[in-house]
Amino acid sequence: MDSSAAAHTSDGDAESPDGRLRRGARSRKSVTRRAVDIASAEGLYGLSFGRLADELDLSKAGIQTLFRTKEQLQLATVEEAGLVFLDAVLRPGFEAPAGAARVRSLVEHWLAYAAEPLLPGGCFWTANLADFDSRPGPVRDALARQRQEWVAVLARELRTAVEQHEIADLDPDLAAFQIDAVLNAANISLRLGNPGSVPMVQRVVDGLLAPPATRRRAQRTSKTR
Amino acid sequence: MDSSAAAHTSDGDAESPDGRLRRGARSRKSVTRRAVDIASAEGLYGLSFGRLADELDLSKAGIQTLFRTKEQLQLATVEEAGLVFLDAVLRPGFEAPAGAARVRSLVEHWLAYAAEPLLPGGCFWTANLADFDSRPGPVRDALARQRQEWVAVLARELRTAVEQHEIADLDPDLAAFQIDAVLNAANISLRLGNPGSVPMVQRVVDGLLAPPATRRRAQRTSKTR
DNA sequence: CCTACCGATCGGTAGG
DNA sequence: CCTACCGATCGGTAGG
């Protein structure tokens, strides 16, 4: 992840006398944070230098100087989205003890993250992976890697839950795939004005996480909750 | 669905003497079919009159005459995508007997439909619902309605399977939601060059459709298949 | 269906 | 020779 920001700060150890480097880093952060909001709703192709300039009261050429090309702007936006996800989902989710409790906490924080007002367009990856899955390149690769890391986190906690005998013996990778799938489906349903998929996610997760003796009942009937 | 095609054919009951209406309808179909291909890979916003004109050796203004506005082109493309899905998934799937066999057949045909070369970008709705879920309007409404109809078809067949005692007593709406979710997740994974999610879909569906006595084992362990 | 345009905006770059 | 901007404009293309 050698972003151009790293290059900016590494070619001179000392801050320039008038604070230009500091101001540059601050501008970069404010641009990428806004870009994450735009891209969550309208996709990474909805980004443009001109639009960001208008919304942030900067000049278009100034933003272009910070990122050089649109692809590098998109990559920086993807990286910033990862930080947003880290703060909103991973860090708070990891306050729960490893295993089933952490899976539940991660799912809860994910559902909150997908709802407004954190990101106006819901989940950043739901919106952009579908856009970029047919466009090979570094942006697609970065998005795919982040998604894979998220699914791997879920799988690891599910594996821990199995090893701790909190839940029945299931395939952690398969269960993580299912949880990620229904979360993304719920995110789209939320965008379409149908909140009914959120309790469906809960029921799927409850079914997967139910202790061995009661798992059949929890996932089977519609009136369990 | 009063499309502009209906308006074109209703303002004169008789075919014009030189066959212009016939040729217009043929052109419309060729344009929308190509538009479905483009939109499956690059989204309905990747459509443009100019690009379609280049690819089909027509003039940009000629295509604009057929559809008037870009939104009407998008709506006609969504409608055409529905016909593609009908031919590729629903009609062949419905040749299987109602219930569990039909669910399996629909899933099989869906997975084949999501793979190339039918549509270069995979599932039309996976790509476009994520794009349009934050853009209210008739295009979003049409996409959402089609998706809901597909999930309702799955739910109805699952309900039939329960009533025929082919499968355990589950909530058909919840199971249909899960199946649609993992299908869309598999479609994206296929686009990203990872075919491993297809057998995961099969295992999820097998777990949901397993007969009552064996359902626990089928969905539980990773080495069942 | 065609040529010929419009106001605007795209990503990117010029000199100051 | 560097940066972070500015106003202006490059060649192309968008929907209409």
CB contact under 8 A, B133 and A42: no
Each residue of A214-223: pLDDT tens digit?
A: 545 444 444 3
pLDDT value of residue A22: 56
Orientation of helix A124-132 relative to helix A138-163, angle to 10°: 130
Indicate the average pLDDT of chain B: 85
CB contact under 8 A, B221 and A169: yes
pLDDT band at B17 (very low <50, low <70, confident <90, very high): very low
CB contact at 8 A, B112 and B106: no
3-state helix, strand, coil in chain A (%, to 5): 75, 0, 25
pLDDT value of residue A23: 59
Q: Residues of B with CB below 8 A from A218's CB?
A: none
Q: What is the mean pLDDT of residues A172-198?
A: 96
Q: Is B221 left (phi over 0), alpha (psi -120 to 50) or beta?
A: beta
Name the more confident of A81 and B214.
Answer: A81
Q: What is the mean pLDDT of residues A170-174?
A: 97
Q: Residues of A with CB below 8 A from B117's CB?
A: none
CB contact under 8 A, B168 and A127: no
* A154 has a pLDDT exceeding 80: yes
Q: Is the CB of B171 under 7 A from strand D?
A: no
pLDDT band at B223 (very low <50, low <70, confident <90, very high): very low
3 state DSSP class of A23: helix
CB contact at 8 A, B123 and B197: no
pLDDT value of residue B117: 67
pLDDT band at A148 (very low <50, low <70, confident <90, very high): very high
3 state DSSP class of B96: coil
Q: What is the mean pLDDT of residues B87-105?
A: 98
pTM over 0.75: yes
Each residue of B31-69: pLDDT tens digit?
A: 898 899 889 888 898 888 988 888 888 888 888 888 889
Separation between Cα atoms, residue B178 and residue B75, nearest integer Å: 28
* A213 has a pLDDT exceeding 60: yes
pLDDT value of residue A155: 98
Name the more confident of B34 and B176.
Answer: B176
pLDDT value of residue A118: 77
Q: Is the CB of A69 under 7 A from strand D?
A: no
Which residue, among B193, B222, B202, has the nearest Cα to B110 in the 3D structure? Answer: B202
Q: How far is the CA of A65 from the C1' of D6 (A)?
A: 12
pLDDT band at B23 (very low <50, low <70, confident <90, very high): low
Which residue, among A127, A154, A106, A115, has the nearest Cα to A41 in the 3D structure? Answer: A127
pLDDT band at B207 (very low <50, low <70, confident <90, very high): very high
Q: Which nucleotides of C are covered by protein (CB under 7 A)?
A: 1-4, 9-15
For the four alpha carbons of B162, B164, B165 and B166, in that order, the dihedral sign comes to negative
